[in-house]
Structure 1
């Protein structure tokens, strides 16, 4: 279904055809002066210079040549040449009626779906997820959901870190504590145990300890590097132990992600693309874009406008690979194995130079000549002091602790509102879990991903203003009202022509869903959907205040308002799903 703007633009294009005006000027947009009109066309100003006529005269000609239609109620040329447009109430009603029970709320799937991979989260094996993973995880999850909704064959890939020096550190730490395990006996030829010799709590203790000691003990650091090399070269015992490390870590990882309502289509780590490194290096060299400098293999990178960019290092002078090499190998894997036409990296904005280098080399070397590669960078989560958010003691806050903080804040807020007298303890905790996590996610997603923001949990769990709880409560309240109506024998019916300004505004707002989702997809910016969701709740609040649905005596109006309310709830819930928010049935 076309938006109101698109349908009006089509009518104006027909007028332009008659007048031999260039149709690129025929665009109709939402009015920036809603007190004057609903939509406007500003074509007369640029056309005046071409036609050498006064803008107001051109505006009048455009109006005179509009085709007959049932869309436009009023159209007026105003000085110096603006064209103000309002829609008929009947058209608004019939258009809104089409949204009833429409799971897509009028937005058709793309006619040109892409195979896309969304790379987000980037958790590290054997390490706890922390506040730094929050933005990548929830922004990436929303971008993936939006891409799938648009119609792309989109896959979310966690691409966890399971192949770096931290693996050698953990292996060495386990060897220190349990040296007699068969994984460390190179002469061992039997079956390795199926049960891991450690728990996630052991890993969370072992890794920070040995990582800290490596900074002070060069011999220990060298031993860890050697263990990493042997793992990557295929030492059998180390590979078996590594699988345990990954399996134990992923089980815990999935618990945190489930609380955030996040899941992945691909659970692949850096190790997955390791097999593509040799072919990647060979392809870059064969393409002729690389050169040797002081023993290292580098690739000169295309300048960014007038700014020179440092070369990308492909291989160190000793032949060792670097992050850029493995990232290129990952792109090769995704293009060769998954036929990716688009790859989106949801990674800290401070990595923009790195991704510019990698994408440039991937294009020029022929690794991904046709693939659209996007770095959807994001800003930082800061404390109230404006610095990166940490614990009170100055340490990095674990993601698990952050989630618990949200749950507890929502629980306390509900208690303050007296909900503890309504719900049993178990139900309160269940509601608080959804509300608290949604509060954290919405507070993040409502900012453009490139912006930094202040983490203030007390503000996030408020039930008024632009917050997750406020939006969830609006939906729960609508569903409760519809349930009461049903119990009273009231039925939703045909949506009829609106009779109040708040009805008209609500119908106009509902139509903006299509534009919001499409732009959020194009810009990889979920905040656009957050903005629309909040605008819709505000429009509904005004409508609900003006139109006393359950007490309305006019049954046709009442039935229409019930249907209109149901559409609002359905659209809100669809947006919540695109944002990855879970909605409680009660609040």
Structure 2
């Protein structure tokens, strides 16, 4: 279904065309002054300038043609030539009915679906998720939900950090503690144990322990380097142990992702690209794309029009080792061969912007993927009330699990303060607490402009009023309660009729969903979905307060109409919240 603004823009464009003007000047958008009009067109000013006429006079000539458009109630001219358009109640009702009947609740679809690869998460083997991983994870998840919803074929990949020196550090630390394990016996021919000799808790302890020791003891660091080289050369025992590290980590990370309601299609890592690097390096050398510079193989990516310094892409350093540049380029090549994406999005901290610009230019130069099909979706940092990155009381990095638990504790506290759920079972109470906590976290993050830093204030974001996730849950639950009470009274939704101002405002907000999703899609900004959801909940609140539904004295037709409008609101609000990864409860 098309929204009113889109249909109006086409029709108003034809009106402009009748005067020999560019139909694009007929673009229509929501009115800046909802008290004066529903929509506005500002094209008369630009048109008048082009044909050297008075803009108000030209607008006055175009206005009758717009008034003749089906569904338009009246057109007025304001200021220097703004065309203000008010729709009939029937036109708004028709759209609200369409929202209720539409499987996507008016959300629309892309014109040409694409194969899209999304790279987010980016965690490391042997390390737990921490607060710094939150933004990539939930922004990436919201974008994959949005792109799928609008029709794209999306493949999400966590791109684990599962290769490099940290693996050698872990291997040597396990060997130091458990030297009797068969993984370290070069004469052992297998099979190796299927059960991991280390748990996730062991890995979380071993890695910082090994890292600290290697900084103090050069012999330990050299042993780790040797183990890393032997792992990368395919030593069987080390490969078997490394696979345990990866499997144990993935189980733990999948559990934590499950707690966040996030799913990935692929759990590939740097190691998947590593096997392509030798072949890739030789190819790039052979085609003179990579050149030798001071002992290192580089790809120059600087351009004449660059306004900033652009260092070369480092393919192989002077010691003969390949690093993150080569791994990321190899990953692009791997994805090209395996998935052939038409668009790849990297949802990674914006401080990595230079790195990705180098990688994308190198990929384009190598002929692997055009640069305009690779996008870095950068984001700012989430900080504590003091404006600084979250830390534990001891000054360490806050684990994501602990952060979520803090949110659950605050949600429990708020529910108890409000006297909500005193008669619930323990199971239902725990479920509601989980939903409220995650709604608070996700909405607080996603409602902010993606590229900006923001302060996470758990007391502020856990409120049941204002622009918060819990407020939106409360709005959904209120409509669900209304629908249940209506069913108990034998009242069913009927034909929608738009009469009251609050009904108009709600119907117009329902109609705005498609354009909100399109903007969020085009700009890769989930906060637009949050803005729409909050505006819809606010419009419903005004409707609820001023347009009685189940109270005595309401005419049956009006009751059925308003109930249908509430039902359409519920449907669209739940769809919007699902797109930002928020599950809704049945009651609260």
Shorter chain as denominator, the TM-score bin is: over 0.9
Aligned-partner SS, 1:135: helix
Distance (whole Å) between structure 1 residues aligned to residue 524 and residue 77 of structure 2 = 37
What do the CA deviations read for 1:267-298 (whole angstroms, capped 9, x no partner)?
11111111221232233334433321111011
Distance (whole Å) between structure 1 residues aligned to residue 450 and residue 247 of structure 2 = 31
Give, in angstroms, the shift of residue 370 of structure 1.
Answer: 6.9
List alignment gaps of at least 5 residues for structure 1.
none
Higher mean displacement: 443-452 or 412-421: 412-421
2:375 matched residue in structure 1:
374
Closer/same/farther in 2, CA of residues 77 and 413 from structure 1, 3 Å limit: same
2:144 matched residue in structure 1:
144
2:343 matched residue in structure 1:
342
Equivalent residue runs for 1:446-457 within 5 Å: 446-457=447-458
Aligned-partner SS, 1:419: coil
Aligned-partner SS, 2:525: coil
List alignment gaps of at least 5 residues for structure 2.
none
Does residue 325 in structure 1 map to residue 343 in structure 2?
no
Aligned-partner SS, 1:65: helix
Equivalent residue runs for 1:209-220 within 5 Å: 209-220=209-220
2:133 matched residue in structure 1:
133
Distance (whole Å) between structure 1 residues aligned to residue 14 and residue 48 of structure 2 = 19
Contact 1:287-1:366 at 8 Å conserved across structures: no
What do the CA deviations read for 1:453-486 (whole angstroms, capped 9, x no partner)?
1122121211111110000110011001100110
2:574 matched residue in structure 1:
573
2:25 matched residue in structure 1:
25
Does residue 513 in structure 1 map to residue 481 in structure 2?
no
TM-score by length of 2: 0.97
Equivalent residue runs for 1:149-164 within 5 Å: 149-164=149-164
Aligned-partner SS, 2:18: helix
1:108 matched residue in structure 2:
108
Give, in angstroms, the shift of residue 371 of structure 1.
Answer: 6.2
TM-score by length of 1: 0.98
Distance (whole Å) between structure 2 residues aligned to residue 209 and residue 305 of structure 1 = 44
Give, in angstroms, the shift of residue 537 of structure 1.
Answer: 0.5
Contact 1:343-1:371 at 8 Å conserved across structures: no
Distance (whole Å) between structure 2 residues aligned to residue 287 and residue 113 of structure 1 = 34
Contact 2:480-2:587 at 8 Å conserved across structures: no
1:494 matched residue in structure 2:
495
Distance (whole Å) between structure 2 residues aligned to residue 468 and residue 331 of structure 1 = 37
Aligned-partner SS, 1:100: helix
Contact 1:14-1:66 at 8 Å conserved across structures: no
1:62 matched residue in structure 2:
62
1:393 matched residue in structure 2:
394
Give, in angstroms, the shift of residue 548 of structure 1.
Answer: 1.1
Contact 2:200-2:249 at 8 Å conserved across structures: yes
Contact 1:15-1:67 at 8 Å conserved across structures: no
Distance (whole Å) between structure 2 residues aligned to residue 176 and residue 22 of structure 1 = 76
What do the CA deviations read for 1:420-460 (whole angstroms, capped 9, x no partner)?
52323332122101111221111111111111111221212
Distance (whole Å) between structure 2 residues aligned to residue 499 and residue 190 of structure 1 = 78
Does residue 261 in structure 1 map to residue 261 in structure 2?
yes
Give, in angstroms, the shift of residue 300 of structure 1.
Answer: 1.5
Distance (whole Å) between structure 2 residues aligned to residue 2 and residue 480 of structure 1 = 30
What do the CA deviations read for 1:325-362 (whole angstroms, capped 9, x no partner)?
00000001111111111110010110000000000110
Which aligned segments of 4 or more residues in structure 1 are displaced greater than 6 angstroms?
none
What do the CA deviations read for 1:38-88 (whole angstroms, capped 9, x no partner)?
111111211222212111111012123347332110012234211111001
1:315 matched residue in structure 2:
316
Contact 1:340-1:371 at 8 Å conserved across structures: no
Higher mean displacement: 100-109 or 426-435: 100-109
Higher mean displacement: 364-373 or 40-49: 364-373
Contact 2:506-2:539 at 8 Å conserved across structures: yes
Equivalent residue runs for 1:505-544 within 5 Å: 505-544=505-544
Give, in angstroms, the shift of residue 306 of structure 1.
Answer: 2.4
Contact 1:290-1:298 at 8 Å conserved across structures: yes
1:175 matched residue in structure 2:
175
Distance (whole Å) between structure 2 residues aligned to residue 194 and residue 291 of structure 1 = 45
2:248 matched residue in structure 1:
248
Distance (whole Å) between structure 1 residues aligned to residue 11 and residue 487 of structure 2 = 41
Distance (whole Å) between structure 1 residues aligned to residue 388 and residue 582 of structure 2 = 27
Distance (whole Å) between structure 2 residues aligned to residue 67 and residue 388 of structure 1 = 55
Distance (whole Å) between structure 2 residues aligned to residue 422 and residue 549 of structure 1 = 28
What do the CA deviations read for 1:468-509 (whole angstroms, capped 9, x no partner)?
00001100110011001101111111112x111110000000
Distance (whole Å) between structure 2 residues aligned to residue 218 and residue 53 of structure 1 = 81
Contact 2:29-2:41 at 8 Å conserved across structures: yes
Distance (whole Å) between structure 1 residues aligned to residue 157 and residue 15 of structure 2 = 49
Equivalent residue runs for 1:283-298 within 5 Å: 283-298=283-298
Distance (whole Å) between structure 1 residues aligned to residue 140 and residue 370 of structure 2 = 24
